[in-house]
Structure 1
Amino acid sequence: MTELAIRRAAPADAAILAANNRAMALETEGKELDTAATLRGAAALIADEGKGFYLVAERAGEVVGQLMVTYEWSDWRNATYWWIQSVYVSPVARRGGVFRALYRRVQEMAADAGDVCGIRLYVETANARAQATYAALGMRRSHYELYELDLAFRSS
């Protein structure tokens, strides 16, 4: 099997990132996202590192996985949490260590940054496979539950 390369996303990756985000939303939440909006969103994040960054996993020059990191300031710790979001691994590459490699790179980058107090993510409550993967990587379930007011996807 060809070696996996992990790198930061570049502007040329915006279209594949957006397509993967749409595929992930449809697969995990049954939501069909707007093509133009997802393309603008991926491009905006790539252009503004203050928002966060994407990492992509490539095999033989093809993007087979991705994740996005955004930031949350913690006044309790005077440091930043990195939130992993928009995780997607192409179906043919699943169970092949792609997420593990992406996650390990995030860990390395967070340690090198010096001001990161933790790495967090949220997961669908019914996604037992993902939860087992995160636990196997050393992450633990938080005592927090997520509440939201979704202004973008209001029911009609």
Structure 2
Amino acid sequence: MQKNLQTIIRKAQVSDIESLVNFNQLMADETEGKQLDSDVLTLGVSNLINDASKGFYLVAEIDEQVVGSLMVTTEWSDWRNSEFWWVQSVYIVPQFRRKGLYSALYGKVRALGDEAGNVCGYRLYVERENLVAQRTYEALDMGESHYLMFESQ
């Protein structure tokens, strides 16, 4: 993190919904070329912020401007009798990338997980072609899983 950037990492609140919706739309377009429905997305973001059982968002704020975010959801592991925390919907405003913001956000996720006391690991998925993000995750001691992801809609 650059020393001249005063960064605050905090849990998102209702006043952050507009920024989070915007970040999700930008991320979906940038990574997958998808256009997300604003009404559905706004409801989805709002529901998560208003129901902690669904997870939480963290935001990175510089000079009172939200410039990055990520979402955390949980997965129960019966094998471990604890939770995996999934990091999702990561977005950093382009001019603030490569300045340590994701590291700061992820550090806060880890600190909150340690505080919760029932987290057995942290997971995320990344586009196969996104080598820059993969290097960032590897630098934070995350390694490629042996699992493949399948989905149905």
TM-score range (shorter-chain normalised) is over 0.9
Aligned counterpart in structure 1 of residue 79 of structure 2, from 76, 79, 89: 76
Rounded to whole Å, the distance in 2 between the matches of 1:33 and 1:10 is 21
Q: TM-score, with normalisation over the residues of structure 1? A: 0.95
Match of 2:6 among 3, 9, 14: 3
The match for 1:124 is 127
Could you tell me which residue of structure 1 aligns to residue 146 of structure 2? 143
Q: Distance in 1 between matches of 2:6 and 2:22?
A: 23
> How many matched pairs?
150
1:82 Cα deviation after fit = 0.2
Structure 1 residue runs of 4 or more that deviate by more than 2 Å after TM superposition: none
What residue identity is the alignment partner of 2:67?
V
Tell me the residue number matched to 1:154: none
Between 1 and 2, higher relative CO (CA 8 Å, sep ≥ 6) is seen in: 2
Q: Unaligned regions of 5+ residues in structure 1, if any?
A: 152-156
What SS does the corresponding residue of 1:118 show, helix, strand or coil? Answer: strand
Distance in 2 (alpha carbons) for counterparts of 1:18 and 1:37:
10
2:91 equivalent in structure 1: 88
Deviation at 1:2, TM superposition (A): 2.7
**CA RMSD across the alignment:** 0.6
* Partner Cα distance (2:130, 2:147) in 1: 17
**Letter of the structure 1 residue corresponding to residue 99 of structure 2:** G
Aligned to 1:105: 108
Q: Secondary structure at the match of 2:19?
A: helix
- After superposition, where does 1:5-24 map in structure 2 within 5 Å? 5-24=8-27
TM-score (norm. length: structure 2) = 0.97
Residue by residue over 1:59-117, the C-alpha shift from the partner in whole angstroms, topping out at 9 and shown as x without a partner, is: 00000100000000000001000000000000010011110000000011101110000
The answer to whether structure 1 residue 45 and structure 2 residue 66 are counterparts is no
Post-superposition CA distance 1:35-80 (Å, at most 9, x none): 1111111110000000000000000000010000000000000100
Letter of the 1:19 partner, please give it. N
How many percent of aligned residue pairs carry the same amino acid?
A: 51
* SS of residue matched to 2:53: coil
1:54 maps to 2:57: yes
